[in-house]
């Protein structure tokens, strides 16, 4: 089997460069003939390499970097139309690593992250397809609105040096600029018109480092979680952020939130305001835009022992095996209980004698 490690050498304060040899040793031990590719400042270098490897029938592509590197690798894989795409693994060494959070991949420890491949736990992950002038894909979040400019508004050098602090600084600068605009949202044949300040179309439960923005999101159910923020009042926005940070999920029913599940979503501005689209932290064109969910579009290694059961669906084969496993466990428990009762009776008889 062939694997290609596609890594961003500047991501996460350049931590990945210290572990290349250890990562290669691990992958070789798992049966992969592994080579490496370091991304460059050239536009879309990770995407071009991922597409090349996909066309050459590589079995596994390992994306090492932040959410931007991962997004490029996803776009490279999806751009090659084959019946069998490479599997994907993630080594998160970026600033927020939202997708890795959702899959419970160890962050900031490249060797621990690549060991997930050795567990051989693979899940078909939903992929979002974007139909606008960008014409690209995303695997975690599509967003629009002032605060969603954060990830591409923060310069790469600031991300490398200051990490999450760079986002907080930029966020404080952008917050007073949040304002509502009228939009038309069409989803699964239904249409609503609202004045909104932010738009989130999520595939996982993790956005901007918050792991409960879409608490009921599943990784592979073929549905987006659409969140519309209907206020631009600074006090109300801060209150919403506090609720999200609390992790209780109460924001789902807040009067300033519209919370929708859908497999096809279209966003259309109803005035001259520009809605710039953020795809997994990268610029993705502007509205009008339509999103389609490609159910289980890419097979990805995940730490399924840690991912909550409610965050993904099992296919029919897995469900059947789960039923068999539970039945086996119940039968084994019965046998063990019978054995304990028998041993207890034998001990009582011995004591009487």
Catalytic residue annotation: 282
The four Cα atoms 66, 243, 307, 89 give a dihedral, to 10 degrees, of: -10
Q: Using CA atoms, how far apart are residues 249 and 102, in angstroms rounded to an integer?
A: 16
H or E stretch covering 111: helix 110-119
d(CA 86, CA 34): 14
- Cα-based distances in Å from 281 to 123, 147, 290, 332: 23, 12, 18, 49
The H-or-E segment that residue 164 falls in is: helix 164-174
Q: Quick check: helix, strand or coil at residue 100?
A: helix
Count, residues in the chain? 353
Query: Which residues have a Cβ under 8 Å from the Cβ of 287 and sit 6 or more positions away?
Result: 132, 144, 183, 267, 268, 269, 274, 275, 277
Would you call 283 helix, strand, or coil by DSSP? Answer: strand
Q: How many CB atoms lie within 10 A of CB 329?
A: 10
């Amino acid at each position: 089997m062939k694997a290609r490690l596609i890594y961003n050498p500047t991501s996460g304060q350049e931590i990945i460069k210290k572990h290349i040899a250890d990562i290669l040793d691990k992958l070789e031990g798992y049966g992969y003939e592994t080579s490496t590719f370091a991304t460059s400042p050239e536009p879309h270098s990770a995407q071009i390499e991922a597409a090349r490897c996909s066309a050459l029938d590589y079995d596994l592509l390992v994306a090492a970097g932040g959410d931007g590197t991962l997004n490029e690798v996803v776009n490279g894989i999806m751009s090659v139309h084959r019946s069998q795409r490479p599997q994907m693994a993630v080594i998160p060494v970026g600033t927020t690593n939202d997708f890795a959070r959702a899959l419970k991949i160890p962050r900031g420890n490249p060797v621990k992250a690549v060991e997930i491949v050795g567990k051989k736990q693979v899940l078909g992950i939903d992929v979002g397809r974007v139909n606008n002038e960008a014409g690209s894909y995303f695997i975690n979040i599509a967003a629009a609105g002032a605060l969603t400019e954060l990830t591409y508004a923060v310069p790469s050098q600031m991300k490398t040096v200051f990490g999450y602090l760079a986002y907080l600084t930029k966020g404080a600068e952008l917050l007073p600029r949040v304002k509502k605009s009228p939009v038309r949202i069409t989803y699964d044949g239904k249409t609503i018109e609202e004045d909104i300040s932010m738009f989130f179309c999520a595939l996982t439960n993790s956005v901007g480092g918050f792991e409960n923005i879409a608490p009921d999101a599943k990784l592979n159910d073929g549905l987006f979680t659409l969140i519309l923020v209907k206020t631009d009042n600074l006090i109300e926005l801060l209150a919403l952020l506090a609720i999200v940070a609390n992790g209780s999920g109460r924001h789902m029913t807040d009067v300033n939130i519209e919370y929708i599940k859908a497999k096809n979503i279209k966003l259309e501005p109803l005035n001259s305001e520009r809605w710039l689209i953020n795809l997994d932290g990268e610029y993705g064109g502007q509205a009008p835009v339509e999103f389609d969910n490609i159910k289980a579009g890419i097979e990805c290694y995940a730490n399924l022992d840690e991912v909550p059961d409610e965050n993904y669906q099992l296919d029919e084969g897995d469900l059947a095996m789960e039923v068999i496993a539970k039945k086996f466990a119940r039968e084994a428990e019965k046998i063990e209980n019978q054995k304990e009762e028998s041993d207890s009776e034998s001990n009582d008889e011995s004591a009487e004698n």
